């Protein structure tokens, strides 16, 4: 017991759970570290900005949210301008993205009157910030997507899918075995161990069965379930959802589970609840889940290409023309960070999920 005295309250809770029931899945560890009602990271921290643990695209440049607002307005018109329409954001941060988006989208005649703003957020500190930033639009808050009312939908999800829990499976000579989290009494640390039994092959996507021994496959059942439900809703009631996140356009092996604390890499099994945890989104599987629900899923684009197609350069030049030299350079630097291949431009991907009749969506010209 003395060796574990340094453990924080959530680590002690996890340790007891493992002692009583054996190693736990990475998904369970991740869900508790991020979402425990009392000790979870997203329940207790304001993670954004210089004083937090990471910075997201809306905090880098107002142009990001403005372009997404224009996207929503054009899609709403293509839907036939339904009124009312649910405008939803999953994980809205401090309300920065939605505030920038609505500043542009409300210029579309009839859009502001039609919109009913719904925000999916569990962090009370962030909810207060969102309420303050978006008070003019009278947001309604929800803990989960499932709590939303039904109806025509416009949805934004920026860096949301990456925070949903994943399970990991390691390819061994005999097949796949799940990587579980256990606790070492010897040095009072959490570490990975392999499940004793084999994972049934049907739990692993067939396209990954042939990966080399030692490879790790990550699967997020909550992410697939959410993509399926979004697909079901837009197929049934009309609308579209736009997801931007870091990840891959093709399902492939790789252990991407990671942690960031104070803008630096952090051991994801150390001090649970005190650092952000994430894993790359599997966009191919998300698109497949949405299509299975009857929706259209677009081609998956690099974020940089998507933002360029929406007019990022033109908007930046418009702002630069009104700025002094110092502000103009900040605008250019922010844009490079969002679209350059060596920055966020190719690490992040964009995917739209829509009603099958919405065959043309801004930024996506594939017609799929």
Give how far the C-alpha of residue 361 lies from the chain's centroid of Cα atoms, to the nearest Å. 21
Per-residue pLDDT tens digits for 68-116 = 999 999 999 999 999 999 999 999 999 999 999 999 999 999 999 999 9
pLDDT of 5: 55
Cβ(364)–Cβ(352) below 8 Å: yes
What is the CA angle 351-157-320, rounded to 5?
85
pLDDT at 44: 75
Pairwise CA distance, residues 172 & 355, whole Å: 41
Instruction: Report angle CA 36, 37, 38 to the nearest 5 degrees.
Output: 95
How confident is the model over 308-346, as pLDDT tens digits?
999 999 999 999 999 999 999 999 999 999 999 999 999
pLDDT at 213 over 70: yes
CA angle in degrees (0–180, nearest 5) for 141-307-162? 50
CA distance 99 to 118: 13
DSSP helix/strand/coil, 164? coil
Q: Say what percent of the chain tops pLDDT 70.
A: 95
Tokens in use for 260? Answer: 């960031």
Average pLDDT over residues 142-168: 97
Q: If pLDDT is split at 50, 70 and 90, which confidence band does 265 have? A: confident
Q: Residue 367: is its pLDDT beyond 80?
A: no
Q: Predicted confidence band at 2 (pLDDT cuts at 50, 70, 90)?
A: very low
Give the dihedral sign, CA 12/14/20/23.
negative
The pairing of strands 296-297 and 348-354 is antiparallel
pLDDT at position 47 is 57
Bridge partners for 248 per DSSP: 282
Distance set, CA 126 to CA 24, 101, 140, 210, 277 (Å): 30, 18, 14, 43, 18
- Edge-first strand order for the sheet with 258-261 is 264-265, 258-261, 276-278
The pLDDT score that the predictor gives to residue 109 is: 98
pLDDT for position 48? 58
| Helices 26-35 + 9-21 axis angle, to 10 | 150
Burial per residue of 287-324, b for 16 or more beta-carbon CB atoms within 10 angstroms, e otherwise: bbbbbebebbbbebbbbbbbbbebbbeebbeebbeeee
Q: What's residue 232's pLDDT?
A: 98
The reported pTM is 0.93
With cut-offs at 50, 70 and 90, classify the pLDDT of residue 366. very low
Q: How far is CA 106 from CA 69, 72, 142, in A?
A: 8, 10, 23
Sign of CA dihedral 250, 282, 291, 86: negative
Please give the mean pLDDT across all residues of the chain.
93
Q: What's the angle, vertex CA 252, arms to CA 247 and CA 253, rounded to 5?
A: 105
User: Can you tell me the distance from the alpha carbon of 130 to that of 151, in angstroms, rounded to the nearest whole number?
Assistant: 23
Q: Which residues pair with 296 in a beta bridge?
A: 354
Per-residue pLDDT band for 261 (boundaries 50, 70, 90) equals confident
3 state SS of 189: strand
pLDDT of residue 68: 98
Per-residue DSSP letter, 1: -
């Amino acid at each position: 017991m003395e060796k574990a005295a340094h453990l924080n309250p959530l680590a002690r809770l996890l340790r007891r759970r493992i002692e009583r029931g054996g190693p736990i899945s990475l998904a369970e560890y991740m869900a508790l570290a991020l979402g425990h009602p009392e000790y979870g990271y997203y329940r207790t921290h304001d993670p954004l900005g210089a004083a937090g643990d990471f910075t997201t695209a809306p905090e880098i440049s107002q142009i990001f949210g403005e372009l997404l607002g224009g996207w929503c307005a054009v899609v709403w018109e293509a839907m036939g301008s339904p009124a009312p329409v649910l405008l939803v954001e999953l994980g809205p941060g401090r309300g920065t993205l939605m505030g920038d988006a609505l500043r542009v989208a409300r210029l579309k005649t009839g859009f502001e009157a039609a919109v009913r703003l719904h925000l999916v957020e569990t962090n009370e500190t962030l909810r207060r910030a969102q309420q303050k930033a978006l008070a003019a639009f009278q947001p309604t808050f929800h803990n989960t997507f499932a709590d939303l009312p039904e109806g025509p939908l416009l949805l934004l999800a920026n860096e949301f899918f990456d925070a949903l829990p994943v399970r990991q499976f390691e390819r061994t000579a005999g097949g796949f075995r799940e990587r579980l989290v256990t606790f070492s009494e010897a040095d009072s640390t959490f570490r990975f161990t392999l499940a004793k039994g084999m994972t049934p092959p049907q739990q692993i996507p067939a396209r990954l069965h042939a990966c080399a021994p030692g490879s790790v496959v990550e699967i997020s059942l909550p992410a697939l379930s959410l993509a399926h439900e979004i697909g079901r809703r837009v197929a049934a009631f009309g609308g579209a959802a736009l997801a931007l996140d870091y990840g891959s356009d093709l399902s492939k092996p790789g252990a991407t589970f990671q942690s960031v604390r104070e803008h630096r890499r952090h051991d994801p099994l150390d001090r649970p609840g005190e650092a952000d945890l994430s894993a790359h989104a599997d966009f191919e599987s998300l698109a497949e889940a949405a299509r299975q629900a009857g929706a259209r899923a677009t081609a998956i684009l690099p974020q940089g290409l998507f933002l360029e197609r929406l007019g990022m350069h033109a908007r930046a030049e418009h702002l630069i023309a009104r700025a002094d030299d110092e502000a103009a350079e900040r605008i250019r630097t922010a844009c490079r960070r969002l679209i350059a291949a060596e920055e966020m431009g190719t690490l992040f991907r964009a995917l739209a999920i829509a009603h099958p009749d919405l065959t043309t969506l801004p930024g996506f010209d594939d017609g799929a």
